Amino acid sequence: MHDRATDPIGAATSVTAATIEIMILLSIEVGIAQVRLPVEEKRSARLSSHSRASPRDGYDTFTPCAHPFRWQFLQAICNKGDYNSLLKHQKTVMKDDNLQSIAKKLVAPGKGILAADESSGTIEKRLKSISVPSTEENRRAYREILFTTKDAGEFISGVILFDETIRQKTRDGRTFVKALEEQRIIPGIKVDKGAKAMANFPGEKITEGLDGLRERIAEYRQLGARFAKWRAVITIGDNIPTRTCIDANAEALARYAALCQGGDLVPIVEPEVLMDGTHTIERHFQVTQETLESVFHALYEHRVSLEGMLLKPNMVLSGKDCPQQASVQEVAEATVRCMKRVVPAAVPGLVFLSGGQTDQQATEHLNAMNQLPDLPWQLSFSYGRALQAPVLKAWKGNQANVAKAQQAFHHRAWCNSKARFGKYTEDMETAKAAA
Ligand code: 13P
């Protein structure tokens, strides 16, 4: 620091430098505000009653002059030398912009997500279905087939990995993260610890994994993950789901999403209402709507930025064992109607799970939804089984079948890419994939 009495020139230089710094920061703020304002005005016109933006980004009211000038920012300028708050504010703005950019890339037109994050128990089941033992090497070899499929990046924007998988390498020694990045595919990570029986609520589940999550997120970010996933499970049955189960899962999802955004990962929020059971499509609609209402309420309360997240919902379907099965068109219309009621337009995209549908059904439903008018979000996929079933069937654990398995994966991804534009047709099932 320069003393004004003993070093007037140095003191003047410091003041000038500080003034210039503030002016630069101010002009960045104004620039961001000017770019954001028209976008936000357009968005706010479309927002539903549930879509009040979160206070986190300073848009907590619908005043037309809403922009990122916040009290915190102005106070920082007035507070002599409080440059740290100033810089912290800038960092938050930049982090939010980065989250939004990743979220948008994940739902880029024609692309969707591969969920390859099966936990140890689930992957064991999948491999067992083709009589392959679930050793670490078999799991690695299987995932390598998926991640190194040539040109997969044309249809796949991101891959969700499991803790073991994000640390594994291809046979030629590249980390899976690097192999995916070379295909322009964004690596993501499952961060929940699984759905466990909920105490005092027979037949219902609560997802665990909040303990130590902040530290796990930091490690995964360092390993190269750019987005994350947390799955909550809601079961339909006699007298379930209960409000307690729905709200407890919604609260955990919101806490997870807030931690992710703080740790620079885009959260994929997945509240899955299972299709297992004899329920009608109307019941599935009602439970899905109630669940999503609770989830978006919790996200709002936890100040999660809606622009910097993605929703991974179930489609609205007839229960697997319901004698009356809804048609493709009915499923598409019910799903979009339900989403429009509760999902704010500020969310950049919905990436549906397949949830036990066949691969072809999942593609047909996505296709029919994308043919409907006035969709406020990108409607995409984040399929596990519906992308992998044909790959497992072709591979059968035999190295000689790798090329065939990769072809099956490329073909399935291509069909779903077409469905993103509403341009999928049944004859594509037997056609050769073309970009
Ligand atoms: P399915 O598409 O097989 O339902 O898997 C998606 C997923 O990631 C479940 O968490």
Length of the chain: 435
Tell me if 198 CB under 6 Å of ligand 1.
no
Residue 4 main-chain phi, psi, to 5 deg? -60, -35
Q: Which two tokens stand for residue 402?
A: 């790798």
Instruction: Find the helix or strand (DSSP H, E) in which 160 lies.
Output: strand 156-161
Q: DSSP of 166-198, one letter per residue?
A: HT-B-TTS-BHHHHHHHTT-EEEEE----EEEP
Q: Let me know: does 130 contact 397? Beta carbons within 8 Å.
A: yes
Task: Point out the catalytic residue in the list 204, 312, 364, 418.
Answer: 312
Which residues 6+ apart lie within 8 Å of 2 measured at CB?
10, 11, 13, 14
Note whether 344 and 54 are within 8 A (CB).
Answer: no
Task: Evaluate: CB of 230 within 6 angstroms of ligand 1.
Answer: no
pLDDT of 10 reads: 54
φ and ψ of 130, to 5 deg: -115, 20
Q: Is 383 in the pocket of ligand 1 (CB under 6 A)?
A: yes
Pocket test for ligand 1, best of 123, 275, 385 (most atoms within 8 A of CB): 385
165 in ligand 1 pocket by Cβ < 6 Å? no
Closest residue to atom 8 of ligand 1, CA basis: 115
**Alpha carbon of 329 to ligand 1 centroid (Å):** 22
- Distance from Cα 353 to the centre of ligand 1, integer Å: 5
Q: Are 247 and 255 in contact (CB under 8 A)?
A: no
Please choose from 114, 193, 229, 383 the residue to mutate so as to test ligand 1's pocket, defined by most ligand atoms within 8 A of CB.
383
116 alpha carbon to ligand 1 midpoint, in Å?
9
CA distance 295 to 342: 10
> What backbone phi and psi angles, to 5 degrees, belong to 358?
-70, 165
Contact 419, 370 (CB under 8 A): yes
CA of 387, closest atom in ligand 1: 2
Give, using CA atoms, the residue closest to atom 1 of ligand 1: 384
| Farthest-apart Cα atoms in the chain, separation | 90
Q: Is the CB of residue 231 below 6 angstroms from any atom belonging to ligand 1?
A: yes
Ligand 1, atom 4: closest residue by C-alpha: 355
Return the structure tokens found at 7.
């070093």
Cis status, amide bond into 344, omega within 30 of 0: no
Q: What kind and span of H or E run contains 114? A: strand 112-115
pLDDT value at position 337?
A: 99
Distances in Å between the Cα of 36 and the Cα atoms of 68, 91, 93, 100, 218 are 9, 17, 12, 12, 29
Nearest to 315 by CA among 227, 257, 250, 383: 383
pLDDT per residue as tens, the chain (435 positions): 455 555 555 555 555 555 555 555 555 444 444 434 343 444 444 334 344 444 455 554 333 333 344 445 556 555 655 667 767 777 777 888 899 999 999 999 999 999 999 999 999 999 999 999 999 999 999 999 999 999 999 999 999 999 999 999 999 999 999 999 999 999 999 999 999 999 999 999 999 999 999 999 999 999 999 999 999 999 999 999 999 999 999 999 999 999 999 999 999 999 999 999 999 999 999 999 999 999 999 999 999 999 999 999 999 999 999 999 999 999 999 999 999 999 999 999 999 999 999 999 999 999 999 999 999 999 999 999 999 999 999 999 999 999 999 999 999 999 999 999 999 999 999 998 765
- Please, are residues 230 and 270 in contact by the beta-carbon 8 Å criterion? yes
What separation in Å is there between the alpha carbon of 85 and the centre of ligand 1? 41
**Ligand 1 centroid vs 211 CA: distance in angstroms?**
23
CA–centroid distance, 356 to ligand 1, in Å, is 8
pLDDT score at 423: 98
Write down the pLDDT at residue 63.
30
Q: Is the CB of 220 under 6 A from ligand 1?
A: no
Query: Annotated catalytic residue: which of 251, 270, 272, 307?
Result: 270
Q: Ligand 1 mean position to 433 CA, how many Å?
A: 24
**CB of residue 206 inside a 6 A radius of ligand 1:** no
CA of 384 to the centre of ligand 1 (A): 4
Residue type, 320: K
365 lines ligand 1 (CB under 6 A): no
Quote the strand ranges of 173-297, DSSP E. Answer: 186-190, 195-197, 205-207, 227-234, 266-273
| Residue at 230: amino acid letter | W
Report whether residue 384 contacts ligand 1, using a CB cutoff of 6 Å.
Answer: yes
CA 179/CA 171 separation, integer angstroms: 11
Nearest to 252, CA basis, from 197, 199, 209: 209
The secondary structure element, H or E, covering residue 245 is helix 243-262
Query: What ligand 1 atom has the least distance to the C-alpha of 115?
Result: 8
How far is the centre of ligand 1, averaged over its atoms, from the C-alpha of 385 (Å)? 6
Report d(CA 253, CA 394) in Å as an integer. Answer: 36
At 27, the amino acid letter reads S
Measured from the Cα of 355, ligand 1's closest atom is 4
**Catalytic residue status for 80:** no
Q: What is the pLDDT of residues 384-410, one digit of tens each?
A: 999 999 999 999 999 999 999 999 999
CB of 294 shorter than 6 A to ligand 1: no
- Please tell me the predicted confidence (pLDDT) of residue 54: 46
**Upper half-sphere CA count for residue 370 (Cβ side, 13 Å):** 26
